[in-house]
Amino acid sequence: MNDSWSKSSYSPNSGNCVECRWNAEAAEARDTKNREAGHLSFGPSEWVAVLAAEK
């Protein structure tokens, strides 16, 4: 797993954004404001669906 979390350059400076990290098996997302709450994991097809829904 890529241990480096990243957030979009489109995210506002207020911190209201999601951070992501990924590899060949999964994409993970977490709330930037509440990192200690854990993260969600998505398989490749699920991640594509998440991204499509956000467009």
Listed in order, strand segments (DSSP E) in the chain are 6-7, 18-22, 27-31, 40-42
Q: What is the pLDDT of residue 49?
A: 93
| Tens digit of each residue's pLDDT (9 = 90 or more) over 14-40 | 667 889 998 888 999 998 888 899 999
Asked whether residue 21 is assigned to any structural domain, the reply reads yes
Number of C-beta neighbours around residue 35 at 10 A: 11
Model confidence at 53: pLDDT above 60: yes
- For the entire predicted model, the pTM comes to 0.73
Tokens 């999964």 -> residue: 26
Asked whether residue 24 is assigned to any structural domain, the reply reads yes
Model confidence at 11: pLDDT above 80: no
Asked whether residue 39 is assigned to any structural domain, the reply reads yes
Q: How many structural domains does the chain have?
A: 1
Asked whether residue 1 is assigned to any structural domain, the reply reads no
Residue 26 phi, psi dihedral angles, 5° rounding? -160, 160
Asked whether residue 30 is assigned to any structural domain, the reply reads yes
- For 12, the domain range is 6-54
Q: What confidence tier does 42 reach under pLDDT thresholds 50, 70, 90?
A: very high
Q: How far is CA 40 from CA 13, 16, 18, in A?
A: 23, 17, 11
Asked whether residue 46 is assigned to any structural domain, the reply reads yes
